[in-house]
């Protein structure tokens, strides 16, 4: 199993859309030979339950690739983390930790694309020489919608639902047919957990309700029992409706065949609005990152999950511009470097010719930052702590400072929350735009200045300091310039 280590699971993970069932008092049983003095063993077992009423995930991400346990002290400091072993729908593992009380154990998994919270348990005790067993079962959290079985004509009534974690809002619809054919009315859209339905004026009509949940990724599928609702008569009863969190986005689902026999994986970025640039208070901020302004992307797009690799470039172009460069790892899965913006356009031209369509291009600067941030507003896509950067990026502290003066294999570090690798560090990535100053005010589908002398680069590189790899960091270079630190990532339109 590949090594997969996550950043510290903050308390805010309790907002995630999955809960856990856990032993309130974990059993403590003796082990064989005692471990090092003052240390005990923490044994973990995880059971993954079926996902009822959930839209099926793409086949490419059905399997759970890794489950990671994080152990935190009573003060909140991470004291251990370890990959668990997967077998027959379960995961288990043993972590040797210092004897302590009130430990907190949190679990996450990587399902091929997205890091998702499983659950956690607190008040775990580990005694020297003993084994503490913690069992956690993934539990799908549905919700219930309550509505009167019937209501007198002329009397309004209340429809309410239980709040769900990891949800930004809800939508409730009403119809007079169980299959919601014909006229359908949206009764409520918003973040509240109840709505007063206006009084009905016709007796003997049954009204059916269905609901869906919304997250930062968009709305999930509709769900309803399809049986009970509201009609004229006495008040009372409960209508149970499952409101699942929408399927994970982006989803793996587009693997393009390239000339030369290689492939390239793309992930879907949904349309949305984000704050582009950095706030004036952000540590390490440069003046060219402002003013921070709202940007709306009205169309979703596919973007490369990884930077274009040497193997992909050579398969299409038949060249290796990096061949005689010192600062390079001669590895097919390492990024293609020493390529200019003009070179990138030549690669794109060849790909579009082979495809017989204009499918490929570089991302705009706005598309690049939107994908990098993956719904976050922090300096990096994983948070605001530079001490966590080494888990996600190749940068000066874990390359040049330790004698590794070169880029590294694409995808060797952790992905951002939308599944994209190396958005921070490794190599700076060309964008389509001319470089220019931001303008104040909102923008829709921006493509940068109409003219210019240099092109945009994003993401920093392996020689960049931590601040130079932030989501808002901007750089530029002449379109015909080639350096050991510049590479690219592609967008595919469909």
Alpha-carbon span 480 to 454, nearest angstrom: 9
Alpha-carbon span 27 to 93, nearest angstrom: 16
How many other C-beta atoms can be found within 10 angstroms of the C-beta atom of residue 50? 8
The CA angle 394-400-403, to the nearest 5 degrees, is 115
What is residue 183's predicted lDDT score, i.e. its pLDDT? 82
Q: Calculate the dihedral angle through the C-alpha atoms of 436, 437, 439, 443, rounding to the nearest 10 degrees.
A: 50
The answer for residues whose C-beta is within 8 angstroms of residue 423's C-beta and 6 or more apart is: 371, 372, 381, 416, 459, 471
- Cα of first residue to Cα of last residue in the chain, in angstroms, is 33
pLDDT band at 451 (very low <50, low <70, confident <90, very high): very high
Residue 276 has pLDDT above 90, yes or no: yes
Check: CB of residue 472 under 8 Å from CB of residue 379. Answer: yes
Check: CB of residue 105 under 8 Å from CB of residue 133. Answer: no
Q: What is the mean pLDDT of residues 455-466?
A: 97
With the C-alpha atoms ordered 337, 338, 344, 350, is the resulting torsion angle positive or negative? negative
Residue 484 has pLDDT above 80, yes or no: yes
The better pLDDT of the pair 423, 440 is held by: 423
Token pair of 404, please? 């590794």
- The model's pLDDT over 428-448, given as tens digits with 9 standing for 90+, comes to 999 999 999 999 899 999 999
Residue 384 has pLDDT above 80, yes or no: yes
Same fold, 11-140 and 252-492: no
Residue 29 has pLDDT above 80, yes or no: no
Alpha-carbon span 266 to 194, nearest angstrom: 40
Residue 65 has pLDDT above 80, yes or no: no
Check: CB of residue 463 under 8 Å from CB of residue 399. Answer: yes
What is residue 23's predicted lDDT score, i.e. its pLDDT? 29
Residue 8 has pLDDT above 70, yes or no: no
Alpha-carbon span 178 to 377, nearest angstrom: 42
With the C-alpha atoms ordered 272, 277, 279, 281, is the resulting torsion angle positive or negative? positive
The better pLDDT of the pair 107, 191 is held by: 191
The better pLDDT of the pair 137, 417 is held by: 417
| Cα distances (Å, whole numbers) of residue 313 to 211, 297, 338 | 47, 29, 12
Assign residue 226 a region (left: φ > 0; alpha: ψ between -120 and 50; beta: otherwise): left
Q: What is the mean pLDDT of residues 403-415?
A: 88
pLDDT band at 80 (very low <50, low <70, confident <90, very high): confident
pLDDT band at 146 (very low <50, low <70, confident <90, very high): low
Length of the chain, please?
Answer: 494
The better pLDDT of the pair 290, 206 is held by: 290
The CA angle 166-252-315, to the nearest 5 degrees, is 150
CB-side neighbour CA atoms (13 Å) of 248: 23
Q: What is the mean pLDDT of residues 408-414?
A: 88
Token pair of 48, please? 């993954």
What is residue 110's predicted lDDT score, i.e. its pLDDT? 60
The better pLDDT of the pair 239, 308 is held by: 308
Residue 337 has pLDDT above 50, yes or no: yes
**Hey, which CATH number is domain 145-230, 3.90.1150.10, 3.30.1380.10, 1.10.760.10, 2.60.40.10?**
2.60.40.10
Residue 144 has pLDDT above 60, yes or no: no
What is residue 168's predicted lDDT score, i.e. its pLDDT? 78
Q: What is the mean pLDDT of residues 220-239?
A: 45
**Hey, which CATH number is domain 11-140, 1.25.40.10, 2.60.40.10, 3.30.70.260, 3.20.20.220?**
2.60.40.10
| CATH number for region 252-492 | 3.90.1580.10
- Of these ranges, 40-49, 110-119, 399-408, the one predicted with the greatest mean pLDDT is 399-408
Alpha-carbon span 97 to 134, nearest angstrom: 14
How many other C-beta atoms can be found within 10 angstroms of the C-beta atom of residue 141? 18
Residue 218 has pLDDT above 70, yes or no: no
Residue 314 has pLDDT above 60, yes or no: yes
Residue 304 has pLDDT above 70, yes or no: yes
Phi, psi of 60 (to 5 degrees): -65, -20
Residue 409 has pLDDT above 70, yes or no: yes
Rg for the chain, CA atoms, rounded: 26
Residue 24 has pLDDT above 50, yes or no: no
The better pLDDT of the pair 343, 152 is held by: 343
What is residue 245's predicted lDDT score, i.e. its pLDDT? 43
pLDDT band at 426 (very low <50, low <70, confident <90, very high): very high
What is residue 6's predicted lDDT score, i.e. its pLDDT? 25
- The model's pLDDT over 43-62, given as tens digits with 9 standing for 90+, comes to 666 655 443 333 333 333 34
pLDDT more than 90, % of the chain: 38
pLDDT band at 223 (very low <50, low <70, confident <90, very high): low
* Angle between the N-to-C axes of helices 310-317 and 341-355, in degrees from 0 to 180, rounded to the nearest 10: 60
How many other C-beta atoms can be found within 10 angstroms of the C-beta atom of residue 450? 7
| Cα distances (Å, whole numbers) of residue 433 to 248, 289, 350, 430 | 30, 15, 20, 9
**SS3 per residue for the chain:** CCCCCCCCCCHHHHHCCEEEEECCCCCEEECCCCCCCCEEEEEEEEECCCCCCCCCCCHHHCCCCEEEEEEECCCCCEEEEEECEEECCEEEEEEEEECEEEEEEEEEEECCCCEEEEEEEEEEEECCCEEEEEEEEEEECCCCEECCCCCCCCCCEEEEECCCCCCCEEEEEEECCCCCCCCEEEEEEECCCEEEECCCCCCCCCEEEEEEEEECCEECCCECCCCCEECCCCCCCCECCCCCCCCCCCCEEEEEECCCCCEEEEEEECCEEEEECCCCCCCCCCHHHCCCEEEEECCCEEEECCCCEHHHHHHHHCCCCCCCCCCCCCCCCCECCCCCHHHHHHHHHHHHHHHCCCCEECCCHHHHHHHHHCCCCCCECCECCHHHHHHCCCCHHHCHHHCCCCCCCCCCCCCCCCCCCCCCCCCEEEEEEECCCCCCCCEECCCCCCCCCCEEEECCCCCCCHHHHCCCCEEEECCCCCCCCEECCCEECC
- Which of these ranges, 61-75, 123-137, 266-280, has the smallest mean pLDDT? 61-75
What is residue 214's predicted lDDT score, i.e. its pLDDT? 72
User: Taking the domains of the chain in order of start, what are their residue ranges?
Assistant: 11-140, 145-230, 252-492
Q: What is the mean pLDDT of residues 221-250?
A: 44
Phi, psi of 368 (to 5 degrees): -65, -50
Average pLDDT of the residues of the chain: 76
Residue 336 has pLDDT above 70, yes or no: yes
The better pLDDT of the pair 165, 315 is held by: 315
What is residue 184's predicted lDDT score, i.e. its pLDDT? 87
What is residue 33's predicted lDDT score, i.e. its pLDDT? 33
What is residue 228's predicted lDDT score, i.e. its pLDDT? 35
The owner of tokens 């293609």 is 336
The better pLDDT of the pair 414, 455 is held by: 455
pLDDT more than 70, % of the chain: 70
């Amino acid at each position: 199993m590949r090594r997969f280590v996550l950043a510290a699971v903050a308390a805010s993970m309790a907002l995630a859309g999955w809960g856990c069932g856990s032993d309130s008092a974990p059993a403590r049983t003796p082990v064989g030979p005692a471990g090092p003095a003052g240390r005990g063993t923490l044994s973990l077992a995880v059971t993954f339950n079926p996902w009822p009423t959930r839209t099926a995930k793409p086949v490419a991400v059905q399997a759970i690739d890794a489950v990671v346990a994080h152990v935190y002290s009573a003060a909140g400091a991470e004291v251990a983390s370890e990959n668990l072993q997967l077998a027959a729908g379960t995961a288990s593992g043993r972590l040797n930790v210092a004897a302590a009380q009130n430990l907190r154990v949190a679990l996450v998994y990587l399902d091929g694309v997205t890091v998702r919270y499983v659950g956690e348990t607190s008040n775990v005790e580990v005694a020297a020489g003993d084994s503490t067993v913690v069992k956690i079962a993934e539990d799908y959290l549905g919700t219930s919608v309550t509505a009167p079985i019937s209501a007198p004509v002329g009397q309004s009534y209340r429809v309410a639902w239980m709040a769900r974690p990891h949800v930004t809002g809800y939508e409730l619809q009403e119809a007079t047919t169980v299959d919601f054919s014909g006229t359908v009315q949206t009764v409520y859209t918003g973040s509240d957990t109840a709505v007063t339905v206006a009084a009905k004026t016709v007796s003997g009509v049954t009204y059916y309700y269905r609901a869906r949940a919304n997250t930062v990724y968009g709305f999930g599928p509709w769900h309803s029992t399809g049986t009970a609702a509201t009609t004229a008569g006495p008040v009372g009863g409960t209508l149970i409706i499952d409101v699942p969190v929408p399927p994970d986005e982006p989803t793996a689902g587009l693997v393009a065949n390239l000339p030369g026999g290689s492939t390239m994986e793309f992930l879907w970025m949904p349309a949305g609005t984000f704050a582009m640039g950095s706030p004036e208070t952000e540590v390490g901020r440069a003046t060219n990152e402002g003013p921070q302004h709202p940007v709306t992307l009205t169309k979703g797009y596919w973007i490369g999950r990884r930077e274009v690799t040497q193997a992909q470039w050579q398969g299409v172009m038949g060249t290796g511009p990096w061949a005689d460069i010192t600062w390079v790892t001669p590895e097919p899965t390492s990024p293609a470097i020493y390529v200019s913006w003009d070179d990138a356009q030549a690669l794109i031209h060849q790909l579009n010719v082979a495809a017989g369509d204009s499918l490929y291009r570089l991302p705009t600067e706005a598309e690049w930052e939107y994908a990098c941030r993956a719904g976050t507003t922090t300096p990096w896509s994983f948070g605001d702590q530079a001490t966590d950067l080494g888990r996600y990026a190749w940068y000066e502290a874990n390359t040049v400072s330790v004698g590794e003066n070169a880029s590294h294999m694409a995808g060797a570090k952790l992905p951002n929350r939308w599944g994209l690798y190396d958005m921070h560090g490794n190599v700076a990535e060309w964008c389509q735009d001319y470089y220019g100053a931001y303008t104040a005010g909102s923008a829709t589908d921006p493509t940068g200045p109409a003219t210019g002398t240099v092109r945009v680069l994003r993401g920093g590189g392996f020689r960049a300091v931590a601040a130079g790899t932030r989501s808002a960091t901007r750089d530029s270079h002449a379109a015909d310039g080639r350096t050991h630190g510049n590479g690219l990532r592609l967008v595919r339109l469909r």
